[in-house]
Amino acid sequence: MKKWLKRYTRYLIAFEVTSLVLPGFYYLRGLQTLALAVLVFVILNRFLKPIFKILLLPFNLITLGTFRWVANALTFFILTLIIKDLRVESFVFPGFELNGFIVPQINLPRLAVFGLVIVLINLVYQYFLWLND
């Protein structure tokens, strides 16, 4: 039970940080939606993600593990289908300029935002996993 609570808390923080950083990822109706979404995500990770990993094993072996994030993306996509108040939408990155280094304005489609959300959630989760263990 303690292990599940730690995992839940890490994902809760990761989802909140991601929603603060990426304007295309947000949740409606406050923290209740976030808490429910993280609970469903932890359950899906426990039961559905191993099935996806087995199904994607040949691709994972061919790409030497770089295809591993697709299992997380599929799990997160199913989460957004289950929790209707959890939204991932396209947005426009305004770009910036710093000392002559220019990043232009970029229109990020929904699929790219899904990828960014998954990467950021996993980075924050792994950071807190490293921090606590």
* Interval 20-41 mean pLDDT: 87
* pLDDT tens digits for range 75-91: 888 988 998 888 888 88
Q: Which residues have a Cβ under 8 Å from the Cβ of 106 and sit 6 or more positions away?
A: 92, 93, 95
Structure-token pair, residue 46: 């426990």
Phi, psi of 99 (to 5 degrees): 50, 45
What is the Cα–Cα distance from 43 to 40, expressed in whole angstroms?
5
* Interval 90-111 mean pLDDT: 85
Q: Residue 58 has what pLDDT?
A: 87
pTM for this structure? 0.84
What is the Cα–Cα distance from 46 to 93, expressed in whole angstroms?
34
pLDDT beyond 70 at 22: yes
Helix (H, G, I), strand (E, B), or coil: what is residue 100? coil
* Interval 92-108 mean pLDDT: 85
Alpha helices by DSSP H, 57-98: 57-62, 69-82
Q: Residue 133 has what pLDDT?
A: 65
Amino acid at 22: L
pLDDT beyond 80 at 67: no
